[in-house]
Structure 1
Amino acid sequence: MYQQGANAYLQTTKVVESPRERESALLMRAAASLQKVKDEWPNSFDDLEQALAFNRKLWSIFMVAVTKEDNPLPQEIRQNIANLGLFVMNQTREMMMEPRAQKLEVLVRLNRQIAAGLRGM
């Protein structure tokens, strides 16, 4: 019975949640994964690749979305998101080439700040 209620709630949440709220939640999830790796370093080294891959995939989706002709965002915002995406890709590459826990801080902070902006905070 409990599981049915939980599933119904999740389905309703998916319908009610706005795209901005979803994007914010995904950015916070990526930030939390990266923060966990950073906090538990070096014991979390095995989780690093998965956390970076999720973050990279998320930002890749954002970058593709802002390059579409039918994207309703103003050109300046689209360009800023694309630039941030390129920055994330470069930071990820550097992290994979020379892993250090403190390098994750910029990715965590960026995701959290963008997520907060999407939530209107």
Structure 2
Amino acid sequence: MTYAFSQYQKQSGSYLSSREVEVMAFRHVNTLLSQAGDHEKRVAALAANLKLWSILSMSVERVDCPLPPVLRDDLIKIGSWAMCYSNTAFNAPRDLQPLIDVNNDMIEGLTASASTVQGIAPAAPQGAYTTNAPSSSLELVG
């Protein structure tokens, strides 16, 4: 970590957790996708979706990613699908709702994970995707 970055972090404060930032990013991209009425907005929304999934995919592929291997593999598969679908939608009149649905599932998972980490009982039974690591996968990239 550079000195400038550490000073910025100290001064800027940490008002949102990394999970909250991730949820905000997915919500922002979903807003762009749902409001993509013309070609220009559609291209911008798809580019934002590609960027988000690219960053997420890169972060879960890192060797120091704290997520369980099963979850990492699933996120890579979903990310690959989302990026492929987004690329195809650039040049074809494909419905954007499947991308919005996947992003909504991510939002739901991140908010459920945040509740679990904060000590609130999980909504679903714990299984292969549980982790004790409160850190986010996206905070590894940067």
Q: Which amino acid aligns with 1:25?
A: M
Deviation at 1:116, TM superposition (A): 1.7
Alignment partner of 2:53 out of 52, 55, 59: 59
Partner of 1:17: 16
Q: Deviations over 1:20-73 (max 9, x none)?
A: 111111001101100111xx3xxx222111111111001000000000000000
**Runs ≥4 residues deviating over 2 A:** none
Q: Secondary structure at the match of 2:96?
A: helix
Equivalent residues in 2 for 1:91-106, closer than 5 Å: 91-100=85-94, 103-106=95-98
Task: Identify the structure with bigger relative contact order (alpha carbons < 8 Å, sequence gap 6+).
Answer: 1
Unpaired runs of 5+ in structure 1?
1-10
Partner of 1:33: 32
CA RMSD of aligned residues (A): 1.4
Q: Which amino acid aligns with 2:32?
A: S
Partner of 2:102: 110
More helix by share: 1
Deviation at 1:93, TM superposition (A): 1.7
Q: Which amino acid aligns with 2:60?
A: V
Identity level (%) = 28
CA distance in 1, matches of 2:55, 2:84: 16
Q: Could you tell me the TM-score, scaled by structure 2's length?
A: 0.67
Q: Which amino acid aligns with 2:105?
A: Q
Q: Which amino acid aligns with 2:24?
A: A
CA distance in 2, matches of 1:104, 1:110: 10
Number of equivalenced pairs: 102
Deviation at 1:18, TM superposition (A): 1.1
Partner of 1:88: 82
CA distance in 2, matches of 1:28, 1:63: 18
**Residues 35, 41 of structure 2: 8 Å contact kept:** no
Alignment partner of 1:79 out of 73, 76, 79: 73
